Amino acid sequence: MADLQHDIAKILITREQLQTRIAEMGETISRDYKDKDLLLVCILKGGVLFLSDLVRAIHIPHAMDFMAISSYGGTRTESSGVVRILMDLNTSIERRNVLIVEDIIDTGRTLTYIIGNLKTRNPASLKICTLLNKPSRREVNVPVDYAGFDIPNEFVVGYGLDYDEIYRNLPFVGVLKPSVYVHGRETE
């Protein structure tokens, strides 16, 4: 992990801070959805590390499913919001209480698309849970029901978040050195 950490300018959220906050979120979600048919919908790929810790902090029965979205027309550091579904849910969400699990909300465009799409499938309720939220970058208003951390407008990687598919395995959320996305990673 040492070589990946070399590319990190600073750690924004430590492993301990992540785990403490996720435990709190799991408690809140367990209370809010008690006796309800809860289905967590994880948006791949970034949300997968958060989901795996969040489900272990939720102590009520629930199911999980996955969607993969492709965003195109953007850059390596920003999504365009022009999205299409690469992999759809396996299960019907009709009359179920759906909680979307995301790693980060930036402009809000991706989730706006997903919400619009899922609403047409008649869930009993549809709410949003994100680990990270960048309110200063919002272009479209998104109703965030559960947010782990509001963060400043810096390019973050780790704990599911990537740059060019790398860094997702870092156990913390860190700010990537700008030299990496300006000059590329040193692989030697």
Binding-site ranges for ligand PRP (CB under 6 A)? 43-46, 71, 79, 81, 102-110, 162
Query: Smaller CB distance to ligand PRP: residue 26 or 108?
Result: 108
Report in angstroms how near the CB of residue 113 gets to ligand PRP at its nearest.
8
- What the block records as the tokens of 102 is 């995301």
Residue 154 CB partners (closer than 8 Å, separation 6+): 12, 175
Report in angstroms how near the CB of residue 160 gets to ligand PRP at its nearest.
7
> Exposed, middle or buried: residue 33 (CB in 10 Å: 0-12, 13-18, 19+)?
buried
Q: Where in the sequence numbering do the catalytic residues fall? A: 106
| Contact between residue 75 and residue 97 where contact means Cβ atoms under 8 Å apart | no
Q: Sign of dihedral through CA atoms 70, 75, 81, 82?
A: negative
Report in angstroms how near the CB of residue 27 gets to ligand PRP at its nearest.
24
Q: Which residues pair with 81 in a beta bridge?
A: none
Query: Smaller CB distance to ligand PRP: residue 73 or 94?
Result: 73
